Structures are given as structure tokens and as C-alpha cells.
């Protein structure tokens, strides 16, 4: 399957899936042998799209340990194949990997973005970012059983345990978005602003926003 061209994509919202939601792009490069092999291995034994999506979500969540401290603006580092190899470990690339792997096994997939406030952000990251707001938090949007479902594979189980929260579980029937409260009832993640749903990664637009909102030190 040839790669689609990669202009800054327009939000596609909740429209039914189309060919673009299975297409290979610069970033969702699921024609790469490593992504094909990864998706096949993780979904081996899964009998339907829901079980495949759940298996891929859980694997991506815990295989790629979340790390927001080393962001690259190089497009090559945001291809699913590079992410699988460990190039980037924050929420957006993890969602790129999940969406690409889902497309690889025939599940239509998109990328969603929101601004979220992390009420339990580490002091070091807060000082670096100058805010507790994570702009362009990324998650996957998957077409399962006739509906689009949102699933955020950002935080691996080990990290969640360290912060006293339960790891997000995705059942393939309802959204799996970041927890509003931690295990002790403290406010955790607060969704502030919806930035839309895309069928490709708007990387240039994201980093233009980062430069404006975070400055050049991110």
C-alpha cells in the first residue's frame, strides 16, 4: 500500500471511517515490517477486532514506558516504526504506534488531541514546562463495533503504581481516558480543551503550538 501524502491534516471528527483511516502515512507506517510483525504477534489468538484492539492497547501501554523529558521535533522519530524501536515515549508517539498497529490488522484508527491539566505533575517537569497543562495530549480513536472509541495508552502500569493510580484498562466497548482522580481521591487529570480528531499526525502544527506555548526550552 503506498504511503499517503502528508499535508497538515484537517480534523475529521466523528465521521464514519473511510479509506484514510486505514491508510499508510509518513507517520503511521504500518507497511513497515516491524509494525506488521509486532501487530501480528500481539494479536495472535485474538478472534475479533475488539480483542485485537484491547491486546494492542495493553501492549503499547506497558511496552513503551512513558517519558515526556526527551521530545524530538524530527519527523523521523515520530514514525510508528521508530517509536516501536524506542525513539519517543510520550503520549503522542505512543498513540501513533497504537493507531498504526490497529490499522495494520484492519481496524480503522485515528488520532485525537486535547489539552489536559496534570494536578500531580512532578516538580521537575513543571519547572521545565512552566505550566501544569499538557497541550496536545494525544490518544487513539478506534472504530470498534460501529462506534469510535477513545483510548489513551500513555501511562504504563509501573508508572501508575508509583503515582498511586490504577493503570487505564481498555475493554473495547467504552472510552479509556486519563483518570480524573488518583487512588486517594486527589484530582489528577483534567481535560480542558478538545483539539480535534485527525487521520494523520499534525506534527508541524503541534510543534508550532509548543514553541508558542512552552517556549524554546521544551
pLDDT tens sequence for the chain (218 residues) = 344 444 445 688 888 999 999 999 999 999 999 999 999 999 999 999 999 999 999 999 999 999 988 889 999 999 999 999 999 999 999 999 999 999 999 999 999 999 988 756 666 666 677 788 889 999 999 999 999 999 999 999 998 888 778 899 999 999 998 876 666 777 677 888 999 999 999 999 999 999 998 885 55
Nearest to 193 by CA among 132, 93, 113, 122: 113
Residues 6 or more apart whose CB falls under 8 angstroms from that of 126 comprise 132
Global confidence as pTM: 0.90
What does each C-alpha distance from 13 to 73, 150, 201 come to in angstroms? 25, 12, 14
First to last CA, the chain: 36
Please give the pLDDT value at position 106: 98
Residue 138, burial from CB neighbour count under 10 angstroms (0-12, 13-18, 19+): buried
* Domains detected in the chain: 19-214 (3.10.620.30)
How many CA atoms, within 13 angstroms, populate the side-chain half-sphere of residue 39? 25
Please give the pLDDT value at position 120: 62
Grid cell digits, residue 214: 512552552
Amino acid at each position: 500500500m503506498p504511503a499517503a501524502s502528508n499535508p497538515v491534516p484537517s480534523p475529521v471528527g466523528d465521521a464514519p471511517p473511510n479509506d484514510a483511516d486505514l491508510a499508510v502515512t509518513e507517520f503511521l507506517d504500518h507497511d513497515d515490517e516491524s509494525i506488521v510483525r509486532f501487530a501480528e504477534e500481539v494479536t495472535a489468538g485474538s478472534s475479533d477486532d475488539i480483542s485485537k484492539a484491547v491486546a494492542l492497547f495493553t501492549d503499547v501501554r506497558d511496552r513503551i514506558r512513558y517519558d515526556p523529558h526527551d521530545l524530538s521535533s524530527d519527523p523521523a522519530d515520530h514514525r510508528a516504526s521508530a517509536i516501536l524501536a524506542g525513539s519517543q515515549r510520550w503520549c503522542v508517539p505512543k498513540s501513533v504506534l497504537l493507531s498504526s498497529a490497529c490499522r495494520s490488522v484492519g481496524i480503522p484508527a485515528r488520532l485525537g488531541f486535547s489539552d489536559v491539566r496534570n494536578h500531580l505533575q512532578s516538580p521537575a517537569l513543571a519547572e521545565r514546562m512552566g505550566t501544569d497543562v499538557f497541550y496536545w495530549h494525544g490518544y487513539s480513536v478506534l472504530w470498534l463495533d460501529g462506534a469510535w472509541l477513545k483510548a489513551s495508552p500513555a501511562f504504563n502500569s509501573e508508572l501508575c503504581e508509583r503515582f498511586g493510580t490504577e493503570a487505564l484498562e481498555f475493554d473495547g466497548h467504552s472510552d479509556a481516558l486519563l483518570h480524573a482522580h488518583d487512588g486517594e481521591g486527589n484530582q489528577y487529570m483534567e481535560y480542558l480543551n478538545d483539539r480535534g480528531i485527525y487521520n494523520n499526525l499534525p506534527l508541524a502544527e503541534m510543534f508550532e503550538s509548543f514553541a508558542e506555548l512552552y517556549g524554546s526550552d521544551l
